[in-house]
Amino acid sequence: MALGLYFICFIIFSFMGWIYESIYCTIRTHHWDNRGFLFGPICPIYGTGAVVATLVFNEIFKNGEAKLWQIFLISMLGSAVIEFVTSYVLEKLFHAVWWDYSEVPFNIQGRICLPASIGFGIAGIFVVKYISPAVFGLFVDVPPLVIEGIAMILIAVLGADLALTVSGLTELVKKMEEMGADKVNSIYIGDSEVDIQTAKNAGIPCISVLWGFKDRKFLEDSGAMAIVESMEELGERLVNYQKSQNN
């Protein structure tokens, strides 16, 4: 199967994962929560897991011969490895945590936990048996040249998103280290959805201001936690935040 097709399906699976994560976290926190590391609507860890599962079961088990318990066990262990490695690498590179299972029973360093791994194991059954065949089946009659073209466009878009995300986060971490600042006593102030996502990726609170290029509704839809209209209001927010940290 062409690599281009696998990449397209990787993006589709990543988008599905983003939808699941965003809806789940929005319901849990009662406000819009744009999940994921990138600015775009994808969670690559889901795409990676789904594509790896598809490759594994296509290569090891021919003609859908895998038993349900085999799919469950391999998916559960595989998802745990992917989650642990991804969490470790992101934390070491950017000094930030994107998920934390510390309060969940049977966790390892807060990076993975048994309940989540079991859930991914069950999800793996649905992916391998139903979702993956349906997604790949969408492209059965699509000419290879068209598939390669779509893949190249998606690669360019993902590359630009990744470059923007990494650049913004790396620059923020660098400036904080130069100033000797820590996350507990830091606040990110910005006027766009890029600022909101960068602060979120870095694990620090963000205050959005309305004297930039975006209006209140746009910032709220982008997941802004706090919005101020004037310098005076910003000053009050900062003072109140400092007091809350000192208490």
Burial 24-36 (b: 16+ CB within 10 A, else e): eeeeeeeeebbbb
pLDDT tens figures, 102-150: 889 999 999 999 999 999 999 999 999 999 999 999 999 999 999 999 9
Q: How confident is the model at residue 244 (pLDDT cuts 50, 70, 90)?
A: confident
- Averaged pLDDT, 13-28: 90
d(CA 111, CA 220): 30
- pLDDT in the model for residue 63: 53
Q: How confident is the model at residue 52 (pLDDT cuts 50, 70, 90)?
A: very high
Q: How confident is the model at residue 211 (pLDDT cuts 50, 70, 90)?
A: confident
d(CA 175, CA 226): 23
**Could you tell me what percent of the chain has a pLDDT over 90?**
43
d(CA 198, CA 216): 18
- pLDDT in the model for residue 218: 83
Q: Is 190 helix (H, G, I), strand (E, B) or coil?
A: strand
Mean pLDDT computed over every residue of the chain? 85
**Could you tell me what percent of the chain has a pLDDT over 70?**
94
- pLDDT in the model for residue 153: 96
Higher pLDDT, 72 or 243: 72
pTM for the full predicted model? 0.76
- Averaged pLDDT, 181-189: 75
Residue partners of 75: CB distance under 8 A and separation at least 6: 49, 53, 120, 121, 123, 124, 125, 127, 128
Q: How confident is the model at residue 93 (pLDDT cuts 50, 70, 90)?
A: confident
